[in-house]
């Protein structure tokens, strides 16, 4: 089982088919943003809201994932989330090497 000390700010990982980036690390939790897509809500009329999704590439280009503060919602992951994560050191090493080389990780 993973724990907060296993993460670094900027690490990216998949959890239940979604990709996240670590934005903050606490003693018992990590804070993340979802980066495989961004859902954007726009008010059309007083009582009507349009929600559309844009791809990771579109969101990165538009700056949605730059922060802090972030233009997308941050989520807190705790021990309940960590219990569902696989402890795959090879995957984390590969992600870290790609990040150091300036490559974007695509799973």
Q: CA 91 from chain center: how many Å?
A: 16
What does the domain layout of the chain look like in residue ranges?
4-96
Interval 53-98: pLDDT, tens: 999 999 999 999 999 999 999 999 999 999 888 655 445 444 444 4
Where is average pLDDT lowest: 24-28, 41-45, 93-97? Answer: 93-97
> pTM for this structure?
0.75
């Amino acid at each position: 089982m993973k724990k907060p000390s296993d993460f670094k700010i900027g690490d990216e990982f998949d959890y239940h088919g979604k990709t996240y980036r670590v934005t903050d690390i606490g003693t018992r939790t990590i804070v993340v943003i979802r980066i495989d897509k961004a859902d954007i809500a726009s008010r059309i009329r007083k009582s009507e809201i349009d929600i559309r999704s844009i791809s990771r590439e579109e969101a990165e280009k538009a700056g949605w994932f730059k922060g802090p503060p972030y233009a997308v919602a941050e989520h807190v992951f705790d021990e309940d989330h960590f219990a569902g994560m696989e402890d795959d050191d090879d995957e984390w090493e590969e992600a870290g090497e790609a990040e150091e080389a300036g490559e974007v990780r695509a799973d």
